[in-house]
Amino acid sequence: MVLAIKESILKGVSQKTACSIIGIDTRKYRRWANPKPLNPRTAWNKILPHERDAVIQTAWDERFWDKPISHIYVYGNDSGRFFMSLSSVYRILKSQKLVKEQSLKRKRQTSYIDAHTLLDNGFSLLCYDATRFVTNSGLKVWALPVFLLPSRFLLHIGYAVNGVNGADLENAVSTALSILPNIDDFNLIAHSDRGSAMKADCVKKLIKNTLNAPVHYGRPHTPDDEPWIEALIKNLKYHRDVPDSFNSLAELNDWFAKFTDIYNNEPHSALSYVSPMQALLGLKDSIISQRKSNLALAKSQRYVSWLNANSPCFSDRSLIVSLSTT
């Protein structure tokens, strides 16, 4: 296009006329005909080579081979090896083809007032459900996990043999409530699906006498109304440390106790990668604040490194110190 206009000008056509025929203004033509040289720009907050190497080395550590990326992110902040966001850790590992991409599904919008609304209004939810395990001898054992929202703290995993009735669930919930101190401080409401054991009169009576509140149920045939307990059950059955099989009820109980300890002390994505135990103890905000401070410090150090790399004459050490301590 620029060559066509130049040829037209050489043949006696004015620049304005040639540009109008092509359909551009003269100012754009002059900018295209005489482009300014592009100066390469380097982002001041670019991850430094030693930080990138620290992330990759941590990912290759055998302790993290079977762990989610969030564990690497939390380890970097807790150990001080690197300070960066979870997305930055993900991008580095993705560039090394060390992660598998996952697609997220949007939740369908409905008019149903779900448990999220209760949480938003300041309530805590006591969630419970049942899932079946089968031992090598064919014994059917039902796990009855009970946990607390919004801290996602797993209080107790009870069990029932062959089938679940209201008494089994009542025992599991009673044990879970006995573990929880100062029940009145949590503003609790029970939340479950519409299983027969969950709707048993003894369970309703226990909830009413203990929490002085009704049970909030999900909609029929809609497990998405209890996503927290469903995700917990999947984790309980398919956790990376779960045994391949169980020979007895005692082995199942050992796994339930071990899983409770693992679940409560590992970082959780819904808690901004704070463990449920830390969230229950009220440490979540301070931990997140400390991580933000560490990230700000890392950014300032990258900025100083960028200034030194792009401005050889930069020697204001007082500014370096002030940026590093911001």
Using an 8 Å Cβ cutoff, are 256 and 159 in contact?
yes
User: How many whole angstroms separate alpha carbon 268 and alpha carbon 86?
Assistant: 13
Calculate the CA dihedral of residues 149, 235, 60, 300 and round it to 10 degrees: -20
In a domain, 314, yes or no: yes
User: Across residues 141-165, what is the average pLDDT?
Assistant: 92
Give me the pLDDT at residue 108, please. 63
User: Other CB atoms closer than 10 Å to residue 219's CB: what's the count?
Assistant: 14
Same domain membership, residue 91 and residue 126 = no
Residue 110 lies in a domain: no
Structural domain range at position 22: 2-33
Task: Identify the CATH number of the domain in which residue 212 sits.
Answer: 3.30.420.10
Q: In this predicted model, what pLDDT tens digit does every residue of 23-80 receive, in sequence order?
A: 888 888 888 888 887 777 777 888 989 999 999 999 999 999 888 899 999 999 999 9
pLDDT for 325 beyond 70: no
What's residue 198's pLDDT?
85
Least confident interval from 56-65, 120-129, 151-160, 309-318: 309-318
pTM of the model: 0.70
Q: How many domains does the chain have?
A: 4
The stretch 113-118 carries a mean pLDDT of 82
Q: Is residue 199 part of a domain?
A: yes
Lowest-confidence segment of 24-33, 77-86, 183-192, 308-317 by average pLDDT: 308-317
Q: Which of 49-53, 161-165, 211-215 has the lowest mean pLDDT?
A: 211-215
pLDDT average, residue stretch 260-289: 93
pLDDT at 105 (0 to 100): 65
Would 168 be classed as within a structural domain?
Answer: yes
Please report whether residue 44 resides in a domain: no
pLDDT of residue 306: 87
Lowest mean pLDDT among 35-49, 154-168, 194-208: 35-49
What the block records as the tokens of 123 is 């309530």
Within this chain, do residues 27 and 65 fall inside the same structural domain, yes or no?
Answer: no
Report whether 241 contacts 262 (CB < 8 A): yes
pLDDT at site 208? 86
Q: Judge whether 107 lies within some domain.
A: no
Q: Are residues 272 and 290 in the same domain?
A: no
Same domain for 182 and 227, yes or no, is yes
Please check whether residues 265 and 290 belong to one and the same domain: no
In this structure, the answer to whether residues 81 and 170 fall within a common structural domain is no
Residues 85 and 159 grouped into a single domain: no
Burial class (CB in 10 A: 0-12, 13-18, 19+), 299: middle
